[in-house]
Amino acid sequence: MVRMVNIACLQTRPMAGFDTALAEAMPLAEAAVQAGAQFLFLPEYCGGLASEGPALRPPHAVEEQHPFLEAFRAFAAAHQVWVMLGSIAVTGPDGMIINRGFILDDKGEVASRYDKIHLFDIQLSTSEVYRESATVIAGGQAVIIDTPLGRIGHTICYDLRFPQLYRALAQAGAEIIAIPAAFTQKTGEAHWHILNRARAIENGVFIVAPCAIGDIPGGGASYGHSLVVDPWGQVLADGGASAGVVQAAIDLDKVDEARGRIPSLTHDREFSLGNGAGA
């Protein structure tokens, strides 16, 4: 039986405040629903993003009063669609924040949460430095959820560079792994397509990777090119370098097909690390 799901990535521009972030995302969400999308995927920090030197300073609020989350809960319920908020900044303890992703069901209820595990502490050059850990508390738990539209694993942005997370999610039965991001322009040009395709191929999963596009208030820029990649590594949709809706119909039966052809998820072996000097 073919299990077709119509999905849409909303390729939004980074906005400094809740109101501007909602004004950016809501028209794209409306357009995606009108085009038949059953599941919407938004980027990392879709609820607002700004930087201050190497630190990220997104607008944040406690989860129970977060205006971006509440607006999309109402949207999901009104349109009876599933929504992944790639991540929003949630107020944490001691002046820190949590980079938290959400899946909302078609009644607007929170179905799952995921706190980003791997934080982006990188120095790309003398002038381009990022220290996400300066303001963000890392998560420590991988998350997978069963939905009527497939079994979905959460990840966020820099997680993409840690293949063991994707292996664990795939071996736990994920058919789709989401990679919402605000990938930098420089690293995106070099690695975005390659890494997304690799995660799809090595795990036999659909990758859905909505990525923000354009300048970040305060400094930096996001790469865009939101991707939908099938389990064989074929790019089904690429959002390019403009804000908009990136839509694709995916056949979840392709997951079993790919894993049947190359059943590497069942071939992992334990090993030790030696120096090669002999038995």
Domain coverage including residue 194: 4-262
Q: Express each pLDDT in 34-45 by its tens digit.
A: 999 999 999 999
Query: Annotated catalytic, 46?
Result: no
SS3 of 180-196: CECCEHHHHHHHHHHHH
Query: Annotated catalytic, 44?
Result: yes
pLDDT at 128 over 80: no
Residue 279 within a domain: no
pLDDT (average), residues 150-165: 98
Residue 113 within a domain: yes
pLDDT (average), residues 171-188: 97
Q: What is the mean pLDDT of the chain?
A: 95
Residue 267 within a domain: no
Percentage of residues in the chain with pLDDT exceeding 90? 90
Residues with Cβ within 8 Å of 254's Cβ and at least 6 positions away in sequence, in order, are 206, 230, 231, 232
Residue 278 within a domain: no
pLDDT (average), residues 239-253: 97
**Which entry of 24, 46, 132, 157 is annotated as an active-site residue?**
157
Q: Please state which of the ranges 81-95, 121-135, 209-223 shows the lowest mean pLDDT.
A: 121-135
Confidence of residue 239 (pLDDT cuts 50, 70, 90): very high
Per the structure, the count of domains in the chain is: 1
Collapse the DSSP code of 215 into the 3-class scheme (helix H, G, I; strand E, B; otherwise coil) and give the result: strand
CA distances (Å), 87 to each of 92, 102, 171, 178, 254, in order? Answer: 14, 7, 24, 11, 28
pLDDT (average), residues 56-80: 97
**Which entry of 9, 24, 46, 116 is annotated as an active-site residue?**
116
pLDDT at 1 over 70: no
Residues with Cβ within 8 Å of 128's Cβ and at least 6 positions away in sequence, in order, are 184, 186, 220
pLDDT at 102 over 70: yes
Percentage of residues in the chain with pLDDT exceeding 70? 98
Residue 224 within a domain: yes
Q: Taking the model in full, what pTM does it have?
A: 0.96
Residue 272 within a domain: no
Residue 212 within a domain: yes
Q: What is the CATH number of the domain that holds 79?
A: 3.60.110.10
Confidence of residue 115 (pLDDT cuts 50, 70, 90): very high
Per-residue model confidence (pLDDT) at position 32: 98
Residue 47 within a domain: yes
Q: Express each pLDDT in 193-234 by its tens digit.
A: 999 999 999 999 999 999 999 999 999 999 999 999 999 999
**Which entry of 9, 24, 44, 211 is annotated as an active-site residue?**
44
